[in-house]
Amino acid sequence: MRITFFAAKSYDMDSFNKIKDQYPELELEYWETELSPKTASYVKDSEAVCAFVSSDVSAKTLKVLHEKGVKLVLMRCAGFNNVDIDAATEYGIKVMRVPGYSPEAVAEHAMALAMAANRHLHKAYIRVRENNFSLQGLTGLNFYEKTAGIIGTGKIGAAMARICRGFGMKVIGYDMYKNPDLDFVEYVELDELLGRSDLISLHCPLMDSTHHLINIETINKMKDGVVLVNTSRGGLVKTDDLIAGIREHKFSGVGLDVYEEETQNVYENREDDILMHSTTARLLSFPNVIVTSHQAFLTEEALGAISQVTMDNAMAFLKGEKSGTELN
């Protein structure tokens, strides 16, 4: 079976090539271009395509893939809010994902963002490189004995909760389902979490019920001087409301690995572009905001796990077996 990879970066190719000899039944074809209805039309002799979180796996794209004979979409990520599952089912296309590759990778990046935003490391780094050793504006807070609010306590949220506990923080959580492994977490309602937390970290999926979970109403319920971190999905935060909160000095720091406008930016080099009327440019203009490029997953361990599970998914499909990672 041939698999066409879309948006394949060098690190993707390296991690998959390391193990491809274990799967002689699979032929891998790497394309740098992103998956869209237009690029899908160029697929030839591939029964499967491999897409990522930034890919357009809409009904229109799936229709084209169906016409090209594609039977399988392999998502090399956990999230699938960019996939029209109903359309895939209608066209007889199986969709499989990587539900958990390295929760610790994402959680560690979340804490790195929280620490960098809180202690203004991004500002300090630039200052020192310019021989400016002033400490003005670099004052942060101790996380020790503060309260961390974890919204979503699945595998990644649980890993973040353990990290916060290791910092000596009191950890409270909000989730529809309590994680029985987190006996040190106090579960509370969302409003209470917002009002008590010094650090709020988002680790829930993007669904209709969580879209714009962080908005002007929920921001107003937060403590003044709170640190907010999002390594989950950009749509959890209503960006205009976040910017309004930043301008009102609600946050001492904001760390974002994801944001609503990221699709055209993520994994691309746009250093020569002028970002006209850009949400990204507005976010980057604030001294207490640090933004990274959807890289929380990017560790050797996570890439290895993504490659292994994706290839195992392809083999399960080829053999007509269930892997437990099917979305339809």
Give the torsion through C-alpha atoms of 231, 236, 239, 244, to 10 deg. Answer: -100
Closest CA to 229 of 201, 250, 257, 208: 201
What is the number of other CB atoms lying within 10 angstroms of the CB of residue 77? 20
For residue 285, give the amino acid letter: S
Active site residues: 233, 262, 294
**Contacts (Cβ under 8 Å, ≥6 apart) of 323:** 96, 312, 313, 316, 317
Rounded CA-CA distance 91/179 in Å is: 36
In DSSP notation, 97-140 reads --S-S-HHHHHHHHHHHHHHHHHTHHHHHHHHHTT----TT---
